[in-house]
Amino acid sequence: MDYAATILARLPGAHRRDHGVRRLIDTLSSYLPEEQLASITAAYEFGADAHSGQKRKTGEAYITHPIAVAQELAEMHLDAEAIIAAILHDTVEDTSASLDEISEKFGSEVALLVDGVSKLDQIEFRSHAEAQAESFRKMMLAMIEDIRVILVKLADRLHNMQTLGAMPAAKRKRIARETLDIYAPIANRLGINRMKVQLEDLSFKHLHPFRYRVLEAALKKSQGSQKQIVKKISEEFVDAMADEGISAEVFGRQKHLYSIYKKMSGKRRQLSDIVDVYGFRIVATDVNTCYQILGIVHGLYKPMPGRFKDYIAIPRINGYQSLHTTLFGPKGLPLEVQIRTRDMDRLAESGVASHWIYKADEKSDASPQRRTREWLSNLEEMQQIGTSEEFLESVKVDLFPDKIYVFTPKGDIMPLPKGATTVDFAYAVHTDIGDRCVAAKVNRGLVPLRTELHNSQTVEIITSKGARPNPNWLTFVRTAKARTAIRHHMKNLRSTESVDLGKRLLDRALKDLGASLRKVGKIRMSEALEELGLNNSNELFEQVGLGERLAPLTARILVGVGDASQTEPKEASLVIAGTEGMVVTYAKCCHPIPGDPVMGYLTAGRGVVIHRNQCGNLSNFRKQPDKWITVSWEKDIDRDFSTLVHIDTRNKPGVLAEVAATIADCKSNIEQVSVLGRHEDCSVLSFLLLVKDRVHLAKIMRSVRNMKNVIRVSRECA
């Protein structure tokens, strides 16, 4: 009796006849020792008893689902603990079995894996978007703890997709869309190609059933002639390699429906243009032989210029390695050829899971494992900041990798998404480098920080000790890590600034009541914080600074004057110094500058927005007088402010240059210039200028007005 049969003989009669169990035991016996197989059969008996009497929507016994999940992982040669966890993954949620029971019978490691998989589905949400984002965040965190959790979850999703036909149409579409948006990209990011392809094709089948059937029928129709062409070309490859004394396996690569559909919709191409591209995979014994085979196939058929990629020397972000080339085949047919070693082929199909049966010390050195760990450690940083939706939005950038590869000055390879900039590169090196970067060099030449990077460039980042991230970087960075780090810095900075502003506003409001923060004292402050449901005084100051709580009302609560909600608040006041940062902003509609009569408007979440008194938008805000703050300028403010000036000029050659030179002579910088209108004899020019105050602006306007080709100068306001 063979090894698998011995194990099967121990099962009760009904279980022995289960085809799924026989197949699973046969697969597992090819790589696991007998004592581990015994534990797996014990887990099967435990799971079958726990799920006894339960049926799936398809009408099958429920235990068929966990066995199918375990089979998927067994084909990737995962360890015994992961297989047992796959068999038991629904027992805690759907049966009377407990985690303690599983831990006692099968060990704490299995219990942790089962718990990790169960927890992904045990949370309620206010909206579907939040549910998807939060379950995604939980999945990422589970991956950080133990990557086998997500491998079990992916196998679980795959079998659910294979049996999705039993579900109502609306639910089928929702699950298929979620699979395409989240699960297939994760499988791709972990390098598990076989799973990614199946998830994509099954999602496509349920999302677009008619398109799927049309493509499937067209492919079947062309398969007969395709098989003959593939067979003929495969034999030519084998013969050419044999002439050079090389033995390698050649496979005609099967086309996947979803990849064909994506090419058709993305590149606007006919089905015939895509079906007639033939794919071949050549699997060699070692790396040197791969490059020899490349030379042989290029000698047999001419390569297409610009279509060769060496992913062996520079692997993809998910660890994938292979040589890719496209050839002009017989009668000009395009032939796509991938050349790789057996190890690379196993990795291409199973990704990070392909190294799971290696010893622990070897696992840590394995390239796909290392890359995955690096990615997961970045996720751990990102998940601590912002909402689940922000996290999902950020990580999706990494899950759809259209990558470029650039070099550090030391020659290390750095993979980045297509369209990434020098700032993305800086954050990819280290968060501190990104935070402190002030300039960048590409191929030894200085470039702006927003410069888009391209393959094979060498990038060097110049940093400065006191530098801080610029909020404008968010408009051009592409990577999740850069975006998250910049947002985190801005959030911390804004919090500090809003606390300072809130403190000033509250102290001013208290002075109007004959008190001050110092006079209020710690005891009364603690009582007031308890009344307001806040943890500390900084929270209160921040809310006041961001306009979420009005300073006059808060002041009355602190000093205990009457019922604050019933009392008409006295207008708060503020002296602005121009250094308040992000919590005091200057309205773009009227561009206030020092010396202008101004008012402040409290906007919840943004702080105070400063407007000129004659701003046209004030009428919209006058309905909320409680949001207005009396504002005055501090003396001798040392910073520049933006303001808008319209200049009517005669249509003469060089007028724009003359006006710009006059403005520059007045020590002002032009931020923006545009032509608002042009007639036969005159033009209306708009200049956004940087000025110190009204005196500085008056000097500029006087100098421009005195020019012979200038008709009129005016300062604009909404």
Per-residue pLDDT of 483-524, as tens digits, reads 888 877 777 666 676 777 777 778 777 877 778 777 777 778
How far apart (Å, rounded) are the C-alpha atoms in residues 116 and 122? 10
Q: Judge contact between 216 and 258, C-beta under 8 A.
A: no
- Checking if the pLDDT of 339 tops 90, the result is yes
Q: Judge contact between 184 and 193, C-beta under 8 A.
A: no
Among residues 93, 121, 249, 374, the one annotated as catalytic is 93
Superfamily, domain 3-210: Hypothetical protein af1432 (1.10.3210.10)
SS3 445: strand
Q: Is 156 among the residues known to form the active site?
A: no
Fold annotation for 641-715: Alpha-Beta Plaits (3.30.70)
Weakest mean pLDDT among 55-59, 308-312, 436-440, 532-536: 532-536
Return the pLDDT at 125: 43
pLDDT confidence band for 566 (50 / 70 / 90): very low
Average pLDDT over the chain, rounded to whole? 79
pLDDT confidence band for 611 (50 / 70 / 90): confident
Among residues 34, 94, 362, 665, the one annotated as catalytic is 94
Region(s) of the chain under CATH 3.30.70.260: 641-715
Q: Is 93 among the residues known to form the active site?
A: yes
Region(s) of the chain under CATH 1.10.3210.10: 3-210
How far apart (Å, rounded) are the C-alpha atoms in residues 515 and 301? 89
Condensed to tens digits (0 to 9), the pLDDT of residues 119-166 reads 655 544 444 555 555 556 665 666 666 778 888 888 999 999 999 888
- Checking if the pLDDT of 23 tops 80, the result is yes
- Checking if the pLDDT of 283 tops 90, the result is yes
**CATH no. for 368-484:** 3.10.20.30
Condensed to tens digits (0 to 9), the pLDDT of residues 190-208 reads 778 888 899 999 999 999 9
pLDDT confidence band for 547 (50 / 70 / 90): low
46 closest CA partner among 2, 142, 1, 111: 111
For residue 691, give Cα distances in angstroms to 320, 576, 586, 593, 663: 55, 17, 14, 8, 10
Q: Judge contact between 558 and 534, C-beta under 8 A.
A: no
How far apart (Å, rounded) are the C-alpha atoms in residues 251 and 56? 38
Region(s) of the chain under CATH 3.10.20.30: 368-484
Fold annotation for 219-355: Beta Polymerase; domain 2 (3.30.460)
